[in-house]
Amino acid sequence: MLLTEKFILLALLLQTIEFRQIRSVFSAETGIWRQDDLRLGLPPFLRLFLLPAQGFEALLLFRMVLIVLTAFLPSAWGFWLLFLSQLLIQLRVRGPFNGGSDYLTTLSLLCLAIWRSFPTDSLLSQAGLLYLGLQLVSSYWIAGIAKVRHSEWRSGKALGLFLQLPKYQVPRRWHEQAFDNSSFLRWSTWAVLIFELSFPVVLLQPALCWLFLPIGAAFHWMNVRIFGLNRFFWIWLSCYPALIECTLWLNANF
Amino acid sequence: MRVLIPSWKFFDEAGHAASLRYRIGSSPQAWGDWQMPPSPEPDRGWKRLFLNARQNLHLAQGSLLERLLFEFSLSSHSNLSALQNETSYRLVKNWVKFEIQSQISAMTLDAPAHFQFEIQWHDFKDSSQATVLLSPVHEF
């Protein structure tokens, strides 16, 4: 978990720097996510925690300092505060900013805080480790199940459609070189589906991590190159050490 | 609770996307052309592995559209006036104003009197597109 801690802190630092780079969108007068508009959809209790623009900027700065401090002096308090800061950010941006990466970030911080809060060999501490590992496995397996049910994914057509989406701005030459080739799309799709659907086997045999985790890293790297999903790369790879510990624990105890 | 039990259904449905267009005018009778918010310059360099703020913002903005359309689909189509008071609508409206303000700041535009936006739905399977939401005219 120690490696997971360090990597997650790096992932958090990068996310926080990114929020600071786009902080104008949180401005009260000219921004997009304005506090006054966000308040409307919130129950009164949660409005208390909705930060104004200046407060949000202060939170980002505080979080950067806390990340560095926690990297050198890891503690349960540090991770609980980081978890709370993550909740405040999620509230301020009205939920996940970038989908699944935010969910796993929040979940990872919670599991790390729990792991740090109790003696290492205690059941509760191990629960934090196990839950993170199992959720990581689920993230691949459920994603695979969700895709394989659709004939468009099984034929490779869905991948082609995603690559056409304007929001990803995939270069035209990549389409000409590979992405317009239906065989390429079909083989690529099935490579991803097989990887995702078979991922749970790592729980049965820790040595399989040596096969699946490099493939996973390559998969997330390709998602950065093609779709720009850098946050997914850092947060998923951050959890890989925790997954290895999880599989070792499961095999030692069952 | 979603924090504890996330839904990991990534990319399960393919082939469609929402896009935003807006137009500005000195009066409701004098409109400029429909235009789209600028997309971030695609940076394929290694740096975007570490920091990719503009692209992540772009993706988050897309999520704003999807959420607005989802809430619009739940409401009556004639009830756009009620939808205007919803947070989702206000955030998209803020996005349009943000883009217009950016153009004003870059001195590529004079401050307009009014603006209007629409959300289009693109289906890449049959290459079709349709306007699914047209806002009323708003003062800038």
pLDDT tens across A206-249, in order?
A: 999 999 999 999 999 999 988 889 999 999 999 999 999 999 99
Q: Is B75 left (phi over 0), alpha (psi -120 to 50) or beta?
A: beta
H/E element holding A244?
Answer: helix A240-253
**Which of B4, B5, B7, B12 to mutate to probe the A interface, most A CBs <10 Å?**
B12
Rounded Cα distance between B65 and B95, Å, is: 10
Count the residues in chain A: 254
Record: contact B56-A135, CB cut-off 8 A: no
Could you tell me which residue, B115 or B76, shows the higher pLDDT?
Answer: B115
Report the gap between the CA of B29 and the closest CA in chain A (Å): 26
Report the gap between the CA of A207 and the closest CA in chain B (Å): 25
Q: How many percent of chain B have pLDDT more than 70? A: 87
Chain B residues whose CB is inside 8 A of the A188 CB are none
Looking up tokens 């990340």 gives A67
Record: contact A157-B6, CB cut-off 8 A: no
Please report the number of interchain residue pairs, chain A to chain B, with beta-carbon separation below 8 angstroms. Answer: 145
What's this model's pTM, rounded to 2 decimal places? Answer: 0.92
Record: contact B57-A22, CB cut-off 8 A: yes
Model ipTM value: 0.91
pLDDT exceeds 60 at position B1: no
Rounded Cα distance between B19 and B67, Å, is: 12
Q: What is the DSSP string of A194-230?
A: HHHHHGGGGGT-GGGHHHHHHHHHHHHHHHHHHH--H
What is the residue-averaged pLDDT of chain A? 92
Report the gap between the CA of A159 and the closest CA in chain B (Å): 8
Rounded Cα distance between B116 and B138, Å, is: 6
pLDDT tens across A95-127, in order?
A: 889 888 999 999 999 999 999 999 888 888 889
Record: contact A166-B125, CB cut-off 8 A: no
